[in-house]
Structure 1
């Protein structure tokens, strides 16, 4: 990868790489539409086959999931040296988990919700689209000191 300041060198990930990165993670962000308002929630998750599975309690998130609108789910990460980052986005339809409960133990035996309370609704996202990218972290000198980008918003 080049250090050119005029180009971004993001590598587009194929589906197999995207699923591999998802399997290596356990916390992501779920984006839903709540009425006419977008909402984003952090969720603990597991990958079962090629679906994203998580638990939730009754409330805003579950109501939005039951509305039948598509959702987006995103996970980010970086390599152990902090020199390369990746991002994966899954877009699809939410529904009740229909798989074998034993597959949840295999996918993530130690994955428990972080927030206290009963999370009795098991949801899976049936992906319609999965995409991802990976790129080198820019040296701090490329983005520091801060720039005034206010003219870009006019």
Structure 2
């Protein structure tokens, strides 16, 4: 990857790097299809043996997960200096967690849902595909003023 922000290039992450970033994180976005409508939910999660695991309650999210369609899960982050960002996306099939319950304690002993209420359904996403990328952040002076791109939409 280039060291100059003006020459920034996107670095495609290897799967093992994607898993490292996922293990360092605790909140992501779950994208599901609810009927014919896409829905996105923030969820706190943990990684257990190369699956993403989270708790949920009955409702829209669980109904969509039980619908048998593939889902997408995304996690983003940045380095401590705010000079480099990364993004990891998993696409796969959701299902009930079928791993060893002791592995949950090892993976995230202090991980609990942030939203109050009983979250009795433990869901895992087995990835069919994992991808990620990392790139240097462009200085803010390059982001503004906004460009008029309305002609691009014609």
**TM-score interval w.r.t. the shorter chain?**
over 0.9
CA RMSD of aligned residues (A): 1.0
Question: Bigger CA drift: 101-110 or 13-22?
Answer: 101-110
Query: 3-state SS of the aligned residue for 1:115?
Result: coil
C-alpha separation in 2, matches of 1:3 and 1:43 = 32
Instruction: Tell me whether 1:47 sits opposite 2:47 in the alignment.
Output: yes
Is contact 2:8–2:136 with CA below 8 Å preserved after alignment?
no
Q: SS of the counterpart of 1:77?
A: strand
Are the aligned partners of 2:5 and 2:136 in contact in 1 as well (CA < 8 Å)?
no
Cross-structure match for 1:124: 124
Moved over 3 A (4+): none
1:149 and 2:154 matched: no
Shift of 1:141: 1.5
Alignment: residue pair count: 152
Q: Return the alpha-carbon distance in structure 2 between the equivalents of residues 101 and 44 of structure 1.
A: 18
**Structure 1 residue 152, shift from structure 2 partner:** 1.3
Tell me the distance in 1 between the aligned counterparts of 2:94 and 2:11: 28
User: 5+ unaligned residues in a row in structure 1: which ranges?
Assistant: none
TM-score (ref. length: structure 1): 0.96
Query: 5+ unaligned residues in a row in structure 2: which ranges?
Result: none
CA distance in 2, matches of 1:88, 1:111: 20
1:65-109 deviations in whole A, cap 9, x for unaligned? 000000000000000000000000000000000001110111111
Map 1:1-154 to 2 at 5 A. 1=2, 2-4=4-6, 9-154=9-154
